[in-house]
Structure formats: C-alpha cells, structure tokens
C-alpha cells in the first residue's frame, strides 16, 4: 500500500481529546481538498471512534489512544484508532445499532452505526483485555470545494 502522507497522534484517553483528534484530522486533510461534507463526515467518524475508546475501551481509566491518518493514492483516506483497553468480547453484537455497554451513562449505542454511515469501509478488530482497533476508509470526491 503506497502512502502519500501520514500522521500519527497519541493522546491520553480523556474525553476532551475528542476535539483534539478532530482538529488533527481536519488539519491533515486540508491537503486533500475534501468537500465540507466529506470533512464533516470524517471528523464525526473519528470523534465516535475516539469516544468509544475513552468510554468503552478504557472505561474512563487512563490509557493511550493512537490515531493514524493516511492519504493514499486515488484520494483515499485511511484512519486507524487504536486503544489497549478492555477490548470487545463480541464485535458483531457491539456493532448492532443501539447496543451499548454503558446504558447508565445514557449512551445511545450508535457509534459504530455512525462510523459506517459516514465512511466507505469500517473494520473493527478487538481482543478482550488487549484492546480494539477501528480502521476506516473513505474515498474523497474527484474535486473538493
């Protein structure tokens, strides 16, 4: 896989860093000239992935979240959000709309559904007690605005 450009960002698992992740992604993607809608979709998907790592992966405990963003040929954006938290026992079940492990926190259980709706591809790999890696891809339109 040819990588045209790449950025890696490691942040502590604090909910305030959700905004930092969005800012990093936005700044990096400017070079690809995405449409406003594409940028918004990608920022939202990243926000959901980081929130999942904070709330479900680490359950508000301290740990690192790794964000990798790559610009690939043909205007493809690759994003990976990785944590070393508690992991997901049943990924298929976790990806069902409205499923949540934190109902007491009034979580809607739509994180993965939102990521799927805004990105072209979503892959979730997880091992209990080892962590979760969310990989997303989106091809940008031919010419951004």
Q: Active-site positions?
A: 48, 52, 107
- Residue 138's DSSP bridge partners are 77
Backbone angles phi, psi at 103, to 5 degrees: -65, -30
Going by C-beta distance under 8 Å and a sequence separation of 6 or more, which residues neighbour residue 103? none
Task: Give the CA dihedral 136, 69, 66, 86, nearest 10 degrees.
Answer: 0
Backbone angles phi, psi at 124, to 5 degrees: -125, 120
Task: Give the CA dihedral 75, 67, 127, 109, nearest 10 degrees.
Answer: -80
């Amino acid at each position: 896989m040819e990588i045209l450009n790449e950025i890696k960002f490691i942040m502590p698992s604090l909910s305030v860093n959700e905004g930092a992740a969005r800012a990093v992604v936005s700044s990096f993607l400017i070079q690809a000239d995405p449409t406003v809608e594409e940028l918004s979709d990608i920022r939202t998907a990243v926000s959901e992935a980081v929130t999942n790592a904070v709330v479900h992966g680490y359950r508000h405990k301290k740990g690192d979240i790794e964000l990798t963003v790559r610009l690939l040929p043909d205007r493809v954006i690759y994003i990976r959000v990785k944590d070393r938290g508690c992991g997901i026992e049943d990924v298929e079940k976790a990806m069902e709309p409205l499923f949540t492990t934190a109902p007491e926190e009034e979580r809607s259980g739509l994180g993965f559904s939102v990521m799927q709706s805004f990105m072209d591809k979503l892959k979730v790999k997880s091992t209990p007690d080892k962590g979760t890696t969310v990989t997303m891809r989106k091809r940008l339109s031919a010419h951004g605005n």
